[in-house]
Amino acid sequence: MNLADAARRWASVWQRAWNERDVESIVALYADDAIFSSEPFREPFAGKSGVRRYVAGAFSEEESASARFSEPVVGEGRAAVAWWTTLVENGMPITLAGTSLLRFNDDGLVVEQWDAWNQLAGHRQAPEWWR
């Protein structure tokens, strides 16, 4: 699978699966030996089991997610995808906006993901230029 197709698939599956809280569809996007850094200063999660642990834990605190993912930017063997999500976390409405930097193997599975994001209290729609 080429890089652009792998990145589009990743964004499409994550968008649908986050909205539906579908952990296993997300886990299926990752290689067995993937490294997933969910935040710049956290220890990375290793392998499918690490991805599952992170995603299941996050989803257990969330409800009413409305995630949107941008068209990937592809080049130099990596892809970047911006995302914007409103949700309710532990009873509080929040907005998350971030970017995932991704590397894929030849099968189109993520081998490395590094996320940077920010959180805002309340729900805010993405700016017009982002859409």
- Strands 78-89, 92-104: pairing is antiparallel
Instruction: Give 102's strand partners.
Output: 79, 113
CATH code of the domain covering residue 24: 3.10.450.50
Does residue 129 lie in a domain region? no
Q: Quote the domain boundaries for residue 77.
A: 3-121
Report field, pTM of the whole predicted structure over 0.85: yes
Per the domain annotation, does 85 fall within a domain? yes
Residue 54 inside a domain? The answer is yes
- Is 128 inside a domain boundary? no
Q: Is residue 130 part of a domain?
A: no
Residue 19, domain member (yes or no): yes
Residue 38 in domain: yes
Q: Residue 128's pLDDT is what?
A: 84
Find where tokens 């642990």 sit: 53
Instruction: Give the chain's domain count.
Output: 1
Asked if residue 39 is part of any domain, the answer here is yes
Q: Indicate the burial class of 87 (C-beta count within 10 angstroms; 0-12, 13-18, 19 or more).
A: buried
pLDDT tens, N- to C-terminus, the chain (131 residues): 899 999 999 999 999 999 999 999 999 999 999 999 999 899 999 999 999 999 999 999 999 999 999 999 999 899 999 999 999 999 999 999 999 999 999 999 999 999 999 999 999 999 888 76
